[in-house]
A and B are shown apart, each in its own frame.
Chain A
Amino acid sequence: MRYFRLLALFLKSNLLMELEYRANFVAQATLGVVWAGIAFISVAVFFTQTEALGGWTYEQALIIVALSTIIEGAIQLMLQPNVARIVQMVREGTMDFVLTKPVNSQFLATLRYARYSGLADIAAGVGIMLFALGRAGYAPGAAAIAQFALMFAAALVIVYSIWLLMAALSFWFVKIDNLTELFRALFDTARFPVSTFPGLVRILLTFVLPIAFMTTFPAQAVLGRLDAAMTIVAVMLAGLLFAFSAWFWRRAVLSYSSASS
């Protein structure tokens, strides 16, 4: 309960800050929509030449584009600003102020900041989703929606865990900008059905960097084409990754010796 109150407080203080820098908000939000358009075009262009991409039709593939845009928005909204702050705090030694507070350090370090312009990406993603469903004339049933909700929640937990792992690495390596850049570069694969890629890449994107669990599988759930067993796998994977990243974070914090000591 206390944590919910804190979270609400964080969100409010961030909102006040965002209102101070309105030009920045407008610029970043516009940029989010432009990049959503670029993601859209970079998939749509294939369908001027083909009927299907990895077995997915135009409308179906757009659901994947929509999900990748929404997750990109979530990263912009919460993960990127907080992880950037963690890296900065570790470098400058101000991490002490987080660790000495009487709240869970992972909670405080990863949910403290929000950049509301990420909501523009999310809105654009929802727009693409509605466009795709409308064009296909398809409305998912209750079972599909429930399964999708589970899959998408798992996807968000997976993304969060990966970013937490990267943040924890900064305790040892200080500069992890390259790592988050690498993640973002590889995340460009998320807007395509994983079946588009050649065998080895497909395996990597499913089991090593589980991008398939972030967009392709949840999109299959929307279409009502995902095995129930896969949902269980996704939820288990999300739980395992979350537990591992939280454990890894605690280890990282323990090894942290602040800048001045």
Chain B
Amino acid sequence: MWKKYLALGKAAWALTVEYRAQIVIWMMSSILMVIMLMVWLSISRDGDVNGYSSADFVTYFMIGWIVRNLTAVWSSWELDFAIREGRLSPMLLRPIHPIHSEIATNWVEKLLRMIIVLPIAVTVLLATPGVRLTLTPLNLFAFVLSVAGAWLIAFMSDYLIGMLAFWTTQTSAFIHGFYGVRLVLSGIIAPIAMFPQAAQDILRWLPFPYMLNFSVDIAMGRTSGEHLLLGFAIQFAWAVLFVAAVWIVWKIAIRSYSAVGA
């Protein structure tokens, strides 16, 4: 399997470098986070906001920016296109599930993103006085693990939505809608801790905070002990659920799939 991924990865790297203009587009999707950070800073100037100082907001949004770029997914677009245009048929003839090539592409592109995102984020964090990060080895391990879980939930939920194209031609609306919901509920526009308590109590059980907010909280040392373990349990459960859903829906869909011209 690893050899296959290496081969897929090499092909994906060539493609990514070829289409590097796309990078401009995703850099822009980061503008929203900068805007939200500026607005939060405008109120934290007069004192802590719900336990967050200005430095905490900068930390939240910088770590959040890193996590967001590590969990960026777009295979739903590719899948929607492949299904509608009938390009899926040749992919199905290959001895390997098409999802693997999407995964390889996704990971390779992450490398390219980190080359740009990490230096900027680290510089901002170093230049901001009062940044508090919990960087013990155990915490770092938990952070990395949570980002892996976040990626899995993000990728699989996105793939699941892409598979709607088997039944509807309006997949793009679903992709856009889900993206918007994720912006709000995963903590991209605001730390979940800023939401009303009732909303937080519900959100804790949904997959969204585990796509971003959970990881950032770990890095900032805002979740620990049994909260941390419960968080991992919920994240793991959602990840398993989404993987299973992708697997099952794929089985059902492929049975009835007849592409254009097939």
Contact = CB atoms under 8 A, between A and B. Distances in A.
Interface of A: 23-24, 27-28, 30-31, 34-35, 38, 41-42, 45-46, 48-50, 53-54, 177-178, 181-182, 185-186, 188-189, 192, 196-198, 201
Interface string B158-171: 00000000001110
B206 to A, nearest CB: 15
A197 B118 CA distance: 25
Nearest to B174: A27
Interface stretch (B8-16, B22-30, B65-73, B217-225): B22-30
B55 interface: no
B180 interface: yes
Nearest to A175: B21
B171 to A, nearest CB: 9
Nearest to B26: A181
A53 B29 contact: no
B39 interface: yes
B38 A28 contact: no
Given A23-B170, A34-B180, A48-B196, A197 B42 contact: yes
Given A50-B43, A50-B49, A178-B25, 8 more contacts: A35-B176, A46-B39, A46-B40, A53-B39, A181-B25, A192-B35, A196-B42, A198-B42
A181 B28 contact: yes
A196 B38 contact: yes
User: Which interface residue of A35, A42, A54, A181 has the most chain B CB atoms within 10 A?
Assistant: A42
A130 to B, nearest CB: 23
A31 B24 contact: no
Contact of A23 (B42, B169, B195): B169
A49 B50 contact: yes
Interface of B: 21, 24-25, 28-29, 31-32, 35-36, 38-43, 49-50, 168-170, 173-174, 176-177, 180-181, 183-184, 189-190, 194-196
A31 B196 contact: no
A38 B184 contact: yes
Given A42-B184, A49-B43, A53-B42, A31 B173 contact: yes
22 contacts: A23-B168, A23-B169, A27-B173, A28-B173, A30-B173, A31-B173, A31-B176, A34-B177, A34-B180, A34-B181, A35-B180, A41-B184, A41-B189, A45-B195, A46-B43, A49-B43, A181-B28, A185-B31, A188-B32, A189-B35, A197-B38, A198-B41
B42 A185 contact: no
A177 B169 CA distance: 23
B189 A182 contact: no
A48 B192 CA distance: 12
User: Which interface residue of B31, B32, B39, B170 has the most chain A CB atoms within 10 A?
Assistant: B39
B36 A42 contact: yes
B194 A48 contact: yes
A38 B36 CA distance: 13
Contacts of B189: 41-42, 45
A154 to B, nearest CB: 24
A41 B36 CA distance: 12
Contacts of A30: 173, 177
A188 B38 CA distance: 12
A49 B173 contact: no
B79 to A, nearest CB: 17
Contact of B39 (A23, A48, A196): A196
B21 A178 contact: yes
B28 A182 contact: yes
A182 to B, nearest CB: 6
A41 to B, nearest CB: 5
B183 A38 contact: yes
A24 to B, nearest CB: 6
A56 B218 CA distance: 34
Q: Which 9 A-B pairs have the closest CB atoms?
A: A27-B173, A27-B170, A185-B31, A185-B28, A38-B180, A50-B43, A42-B189, A31-B173, A196-B42
Contacts of B183: 38, 42
Contact of B49 (A49, A182, A196): A49
